[in-house]
Structures are given as C-alpha cells and as structure tokens.
A and B are shown apart, each in its own frame.
With several copies, the nearest count.
Chain A
Amino acid sequence: MSLDKNGIAKRIAQELQDGYYVNLGIGIPTLVANYVPDGMDVVLQSENGLLGIGPFPEKGKADADLINAGKQTVTTIAGSSFFDSSLSFAMIRGGHIDLTVLGAFEVTDKGDISSWKIPGKMVKGMGGAMDLVAAAKNIIVATTHTDRNGNPKLKAACSLPLTGVNCVKKIVSDLAVIEITEKGFKLLERAPGVSVEEIVEKTGAPLVIDGEIPEMQI
C-alpha cells in the first residue's frame, strides 16, 4: 500500500542523524519535524531567518513576527536564534546545513530537479529552493511517485524548468526509497505491500535493482 504524506515524512525522519541542522521545505517536508526520533537532537532552519523552529503555537498565541518559510506561525526551541535573510543564506550556501528536504514536480536520474514553474500555467517563483539545492550537502526529495494523472515524476529528463542540476541525492516517495547514483536511480526500499514491478512501472527511467528489495520499516 502506498504511503500517505505522513508515511513519507516518517520514512524521511529515519534519515536524520543526531546533531543535524536541517532545512525542511513547504508541504510534506514540513511534516518530517513531527517524526524526529525521541532523544535525537536535530535543529530545524527556516530560511526566512530562524534556527531552532519549535512546534506550532498554542491556540491564541500565534505571533505575526514569528513565522516559517511557508509563512505559517511557529514557535522556537531553547537555543534558537534569529537573523536576516543574507545571513540565513550564508548558512545555506556555505554548507552549514546538513540536510535539505524539499518537494518536486520532477526529479531525474542525474539528480536534476524541477519544482518552481509550469510555463504558461503557474509561476510562483523559486523562493529559496535554488539556493538550497545548489548548496546543501545532502538533498532528499519528498514526493508522490506519480502526478495526479498517473505520470511518472521520476524521469530521465525534466520537462519543466529546472531548479537545480546534479543535486538530489535521494528520493522518498509514497512507493519507494530511491538513491541517485552514478548509474541512475537505484531502488533501496519499497513501501509496505508495494511490489518492485509496480515501482518499475511507475518510474520514468531505468531502475538499478540489486537483489532483494526490503520493505520500508516505518
């Protein structure tokens, strides 16, 4: 059975390591914060100028000056800090963030990603996504395996304008965990009950499949 949004977030949370500074994009990535393993020290960065994002505020306690990059009201953890946008991206561009998780329209087996523009239809802008993918040491894409019409989002080439090239390291979708290697997409895990055949069929580029593919443990 394919994973829901929370399932994808849970699986990505397994990629966290103690001491990581992490930037979570809007959408599914934001949910990852809910599944940080107990006792693990992870600090979340928000590119609008906050290190140490806490949970959403209690009802009635939202503060207009305290938002995340998705413009949602948040709180802070002990030891947080605020800073301006240029320092925030100095942090990102300078490689001080250990992991970036973001969504995508398309990802290729070379690690290219498109996520910000559908020509003629939708242009919201790239926000900080281009800076993040160009700089982060480790980039995981959180996405559904196919779009609303059932077309593969994992492909040999992006059809939409690119956000970055050769940057994505791993994809966690509702169906599979896939690593991007020199040989292209490599299937690491499949969602519980999902067959290798289904993943192959719904992936728009060849998959490297080495031996038995385990089910995700979530």
Chain B
Amino acid sequence: MNKVVKDASEAIKGMESGQTLMLGGFGLCGIPENTIKALVASELKDLTCISNNAGVDNFGLGALLRKHQIKKMVSSYVGENKEFERQMLSGELEVDLVPQGTLAERIRAGGAGIPAFYVPAGYGTEVGEGKESREFNGKMHLLEHALTADFAVIKAWKGDAMGNLIFRETANNFNQPMAMAGKITIAEVEELVPAGELDPNQIHTPGVFVQRIFQGVDYEKRIEFETVRE
C-alpha cells in the first residue's frame, strides 16, 4: 500500500478554495513547512484553517495570512503575529478561538467518530455562550463538537511508504490527532523509509490515517524563542 507522492505540490492536488484544512504544529514547532510553502505558492483562497497557532508574521501560516488566502482561523493562541491581529481586529479574518485542550480533543473526536463530548473548560466564560451545558459529578460542563477537515496537513519525523508515522519530541503536538481527522491526510516527514523499517511497537500514527506521504526538503525548523542556560 504505497502512499508516497513526489512532493508538496503533488500532495495538495485536489485541494480547493473554500475547503477546511487542519495544520499541525505548536508555534513553529512541528509545522508542515513544505506543504505550507506549496499552499502559499497556490491560488487557493477562502480557506478555513484549524491550527493551534497562526505562525509568525513571515513564516508558517503567517505567510498564508499575508497573502489573504485564509478566510477563517480556528485556533487557541494567535499571539506572535501582528498581521493576524490586524486582520482580526479589522474584521478581514474570521477567528474562532477554542481552548487548547478542547481543540485537541475535538480534533481527536473527529477522527474517532465521536460527534460530541462534554468538557469543563470554558464553562462560565464567553467560550460557553450559546453552548449546551450540563452538570456531571457536581461540576458544569460544555457540550463540544467534533472537528474534521477536507485535508489534514501534518509533519512527522519518520514515516514509511504505508503512512506509518513517528514524531519527535514536542514536534508531535497537534500532528497526531490531526492525522486522524482529515478526509485526506497529507504527511510530510524528515525521513521516509520503506514499509517494514519502523518498529511496529513505536508507531505513533498507524498508516490507516494517512493518505499521502512525502519526504520534505530544506527544513528550516525555526526557533521562536531561543533560550539558553546562563
């Protein structure tokens, strides 16, 4: 079951303006750099992007924002991005802010066939406005709904031709749940190996969740805040 495609531009074939994408990464850590570049080079627009963050001004999703290809962002934290803030405050960009844990769980639920579930996060805040609430174990909870996407675009460390993925360190973050929630999941990896080379006990994302995979090139892996010991 060979799911290997040549590169990012082949991987995004069939994507259409107006679709919903999930994009993995936390800040600039573990973002699908190659595929984002291909998106920026494309004519796609009016995209709804589900991503924990929105990159920085000139890198990651920030580059898509600058080109005005994004109509709506679903995120938990969008600091570190002035153009984002500008588009949001001016109303050019629709923004749905979701608590980070709820966001991760809604994505996992989308992949796991769980249409809705209850969580305590956000009860009593504006996040809970208009949502059903209910008490469990003496505590109020909100009903939250699953998220899915036309395409999930993720980045892993190693992958094989069947789509099995292994993540590295904190570059896993949203990539693993998003892999489950895309109708088509595109995985770019730093190292692509033939099926059978990865230890089946160590697979983070089984290949069934991945439809297209390729080895990325020229990873910058930018660091947002390089902090060192004194």
Binding site for B on A (CB under 8 A): 19, 21, 41, 43, 45-52, 55-74, 76, 78-97, 112, 120, 122-131, 134-135, 161-166
Contact = CB atoms under 8 A, between A and B. Distances in A.
B229 A58 contact: yes
Contacts of A57: 227-229
A38 to B, nearest CB: 15
A124 B26 contact: no
25 contacts: A57-B228, A58-B229, A61-B228, A64-B222, A65-B157, A68-B170, A73-B228, A79-B1, A79-B160, A79-B164, A84-B172, A84-B175, A86-B107, A86-B177, A89-B102, A90-B113, A91-B206, A93-B114, A120-B89, A124-B77, A125-B75, A125-B79, A131-B119, A162-B124, A164-B121
A162 B126 contact: yes
A165 B123 CA distance: 8
Contacts of A64: 28-29, 171, 221-223
B205 to A, nearest CB: 8
Interface centre among A74, A94, A122, A135 (most CB of B within 10 A): A94
Interface in B56-76: 75-76
Interface in B118-174: 119-127, 157, 160-162, 164, 167-174
Contacts of B28: 64, 71
Contacts of B160: 79
B203 A126 contact: no
B49 interface: no
B9 interface: no
A48 B29 contact: yes
B214 interface: no
Contacts of B176: 84-86
A91 B181 CA distance: 10
A130 B99 contact: yes
Contact of A81 (B105, B119, B161, B200): B200
Contacts of A126: 76-77, 97, 99-100, 127
A72 B208 contact: no
A51 B206 CA distance: 7
B27 interface: yes
Contacts of B229: 55-59
B85 interface: yes
Given A65-B168, A131-B121, A82 B201 contact: yes
A163 B113 contact: no
B131 to A, nearest CB: 13
Identify the 5 closest CB pairs spanning chains A and B, nearest first: A89-B101, A78-B196, A79-B195, A93-B113, A131-B101
B174 A84 contact: yes
A80 to B, nearest CB: 5
Given A66-B170, A123-B88, A71 B29 contact: yes
Contacts of A52: 200
A36 B77 CA distance: 29
A41 B100 CA distance: 28
B168 A89 contact: no
A186 B100 CA distance: 32
A41 B207 CA distance: 13
B204 interface: yes
A89 B208 CA distance: 13
A21 B30 CA distance: 25
B217 interface: no
A76 B200 contact: yes
Contacts of B76: 125-128
B52 interface: yes
A67 B224 contact: yes
Given A84-B172, A86-B107, A127-B76, A62 B226 contact: yes
